[in-house]
Structure 1
Amino acid sequence: VNFTNIIRVCGYPSRETGAGDSVNAQTMEALEGPLTTVFLPTIYIIVFAIGLPTNTLALWVFLFRTKKRHPSSIYMANLALADLLYVIWTPLKIAYHFKGNNWIFGDGLCKVLVAFFYANMYCSMAFIACISVQRYWAVVYPMSQRQRSNVLAVSISVGVWMLVWLTTIPLYLYDQEVYIRNMDIKTCHDVTRPSQKKIAAGYFLTMGTLGFVVPAVVCIISYILMLKALRSNMGDSTIGQKRRKAVVLIITVLVMFFLCFTPSNMMLLVHYTLLLLEAENNMYGFYITTLCLASLNSCIDPFIYYFISEDFREHVKNTFLCRSQRTVERSKVSFSALKFSKDNTC
């Protein structure tokens, strides 16, 4: 979870001084209140406790247990990596909020934490869009060449990582750590200096538009086209059951996407528009709640993999049962041989 420019959201600007910035009483109350010192770190603890083991397991399954590579598994592995790279930094944020929003880890780590949060969010949306397109392609063109598709999936994944990390460079170029003189604390990404508001607003309005709106449109179009393709075969009882499961999955992924990312990104766009217009903004409570929802995608994604991929479910079960891949393959061969023998018995 990350919340941006608390003073600006609440409509209480800081003022620059030589020795640090000062904030008014209402802003001090917000920085010292239970919303930021109890609620936020509690959410971070949940994200870390669930997200770390589940994403580690998911990444391990995709890298070391899945032998038959296909584009969806490649995109899901990248999504798990993006979530894991964010989750490992959350203990710093937990400590920060429990210490009364006092950042003690230096400006460098503050910038890294901020960059990883936004990189995770925009990588997640991009890879979910890739998964959506891939599933549509698999429904419409099921006989497409797998090897060529895998090469394309790897190339697209590398391109997404390069693009997202290049776009996070501006976050390293302006102050994320700000010293609040009358509270004697250093905030991390919670206070925007007036001299830097145009840089911050321009960056986040651009990222909010390109990083959220474009993947959202891609997901919606892909799933609408997929539903049209699935509807044509719903009359067949054997095919219809599988395709109804696909429809449920489509709805689940879309609900997860819009629940986690739409409120936070819409509020991000509203917040920075008001910031540029220097208008008062009193929607801090709603804004902070939406960003909590955005961080929860790191916990939800592994469960989406579980429902998307039958192979993933099988590998997870085998992992918990301490069954090696070789043992599973031998049992499958034995079962196939036994079935063949029975089928040929008079």
Structure 2
Amino acid sequence: MGGRRCLHLLLLCAALVAASASVGSQSNRTKGRSFIGQKVETKNASVKSYTVDDFAAKILTGKLTTVFLPVVYITVFLIGLPSNAMALWVFFFRTKKKHPAVIYMANLALADLLFVFWFPLKIAYHINGNNWIYGEGLCKVLVGFFYGNMYCSILFMTCLSVQRYWVIVNPILHSRKKSELALRVSIAIWVLIFLSTIPLYLVDQTAYISNLNITTCHDVLPQGVLVGDMFNYFLSLAIGVFLFPAVLTAVAYILMIKTLNASITDVNIGKKRKRAIKLIIAVLSIYLICFIPSNILLVVHYSLIRDYGQSHVYASYITALCLSTLNSGIDPFIYYFVSKDFRDNLKNAFLCRSVRTAKRMQVSLSSSRYPKKSNSYSSSSNTTKTTY
């Protein structure tokens, strides 16, 4: 009971309380994830066949999964693929100084790009009536990348938020050691995400539904998959890789706003800091909207299956999970508003200016703005200035 009360305080949500309260009960039920598939006997013993109830059949054949979901995925793909590819190109080939923020944003763009790369398979699956024809292996890869990207994005956005707060509180010179630390943290995140998605590859994700004559990918699992194992797995992800980073991100942004408000009376930079505060609020809102609903509904869905052997919130969950992918299309625009260097590099890229030409123009513009400044002042300002 003490553990449950502690979890209640951490989650701050009645839905998660209901989910966590069921961790210790009915551990021997063999109900699968998502819609529950009941195994049926066939003449060919090597072919596994399942049936689903009327509610599941209605969702799998309805417009929600065959029209709405693919429309959202197509939109995210058309926006996310070129924008993340462009962002990644700017970070790698147009950005000379690899600040910690650049490293985190580059990794976030890479995660989004790897994610949307698999969208055509997801789109084809839904348009084809939730019928998966690409084999078990590709289904596992798609599922692994789907969940891996969500939690990878959360962790990199958390790192970026903490780093930006640290820069505001401690406006010191950029050092090589900080970049090396950011690189190590990024590698650790990739390793963590890879290890955390391994359980998804160990479970058969495809299931042939005889009463619908389709093969689903991740939408139906048989009774052979224990709900206790999958419940604990996704509950661990929701708490460890979503809740704690989300709280840390929120705290970083709140402290950042507080710090900026404390010095917003400065006439010269007041407007810029007001814009920064608005940006922080926008980024935080996007972060919460994209990830909170899907993670809450995921845990609630598992708790209902564990306690009652059914879940009618799965339709809401897959809708929330679909909407969470909007993050992959929004992130590049966040880079644009967060970083002046990114905006300048992107503009120079579109104008076909080389890095050397852009640097010369920047130096020339700086000289024209501050013609009477001493050399020592110019050197100092150039070394301490950062827009990340």
TM-score normalised over the length of structure 1: 0.92
Q: Is 1:181 paired with 2:210?
A: yes
How far is 1:338 from its partner? 5.2
Residue 243 of structure 2 is matched in structure 1 by: 213
Question: In structure 1, how many angstroms separate the alpha carbons of the residues matched to 2:229 and 2:210?
Answer: 24
Which whole-Å CA distance do the structure 1 matches of 2:284 and 2:140 have between them?
A: 31
Residues 1:147 and 2:176 are matched in the alignment = yes
Map residues 276-315 of structure 1 onto 2, 5 A cutoff.
Answer: 276-278=306-308, 280-315=310-345
Amino acid at match of 1:89: W
Tell me whether 1:15 sits opposite 2:38 in the alignment.
Answer: yes
Would you say the 8 A contact 1:8–1:281 is kept in 2? no
Question: 1:32 touches 1:100 (CA, 8 Å); kept in 2?
Answer: yes
What's the counterpart of residue 167 of structure 1? 196
Secondary structure class of the residue paired with 1:178: strand
Note the C-alpha offset of 1:144.
Answer: 4.9
Classify 1:156/1:16 alpha carbon distance in 2 versus 1 (closer, same or farther; 3 Å): same
Quick check: 1:195 aligned with 2:217? no
**C-alpha spacing 1:166/1:273, structure 2 compared with 1 (3 Å):** same
How far, CA to CA, are the matches of 1:284 and 1:163 in structure 2?
27
Report matched runs for 1:130-145 at 5 Å.
130-145=159-174
Instruction: After superposing the two structures, state which structure 1 stretch, 291-300 or 26-35, moved more.
Output: 26-35
| CA distance in structure 1 between the partners assigned to 2:39 and 2:373 by the alignment | 83
Q: 1:94 aligns with which of 110, 123, 126?
A: 123
Residue segments in structure 1 that go unaligned for 5+ positions in a row: 1-6
SS at match of 1:30: helix
* Residue of structure 2 equivalent to 1:125: 154
Match for 1:219: what amino acid?
A: T
Match for residue 37 of structure 1? 66
What secondary structure sits across from 1:323 in the alignment? Answer: coil
2:92 maps to 63
Most deviating of 76-85 and 312-321: 312-321
Which runs of structure 2 are paired with 1:216-255 in the superposition (5 Å)? 216-255=246-285
Structure number having the greater helix percentage: 1
Return the alpha-carbon distance in structure 2 between the equivalents of residues 281 and 340 of structure 1. 66
Which one of 261, 265, 275 corresponds to residue 291 of structure 2? 261
Cα distance in 2 for partners of 1:217, 1:128 equals: 12
CA distance in structure 2 between the partners assigned to 1:145 and 1:335 by the alignment? 23
What is the CA distance between 1:279 and its match in structure 2?
A: 5.0
Show the counterpart of 2:55: 26
Task: Look up the equivalent residue of 1:329 and give its one-letter code.
Answer: K
Aligned residues of 1:201 and 1:275 also touching (Cα < 8 A): no
Output the aligned Cα RMSD: 2.0
The answer as to whether partners of 1:176 and 1:188 remain within 8 angstroms in 2 is yes
Find the aligned partners of 2:169 and 2:55 in 1 and give their Cα distance: 57
Q: CA deviation at 1:8?
A: 6.2
Shift of the alpha carbon at 1:241? 2.2
Distance 2:159 2:333 in 1: 18
- Deviation of 1:142 after TM superposition, in Å, equals 0.8
Q: 1:322-341 alignment to 2 at 5 Å?
A: 322-336=352-366
Q: Which amino acid aligns with 2:81?
A: L
Q: How far apart in 1 are the matches of 2:296 and 2:101? A: 28
Runs of 4+ off more than 3 Å: 333-344
Could you tell me which residue of structure 1 aligns to residue 106 of structure 2? 77
Is 1:110–1:176's contact at 8 Å kept on the other side of the alignment? yes
Q: Offset at 1:58?
A: 0.4
Aligned-residue identity in percent: 53
Structure-1 separation of matches of 2:366 and 2:255: 38
Distance 1:337 1:220 in 2: 40
* CA positional deviation for 1:159: 0.5
1:196-250 Cα distance to aligned partner (Å, 9 max, x none):
1332222111111111101111111111222222222111111322221221121
Offset from partner CA, 1:232-279 (integer Å, 9 cap, x none)? 211111132222122112101100100100111111111112122135
1:47 positional shift: 1.0
CA shift for structure 1 position 325: 1.3
Q: Distance in 1 between matches of 2:220 and 2:86?
A: 36
Which of 132, 141, 145 is the equivalent residue of 1:103? 132
Residue equivalent to 1:158: 187
Q: Deviations over 1:279-319 (max 9, x none)?
A: 54323443232112211100010011110000011111111
**Quick check: 1:233–1:239 contact (8 Å CA) kept in 2?**
no
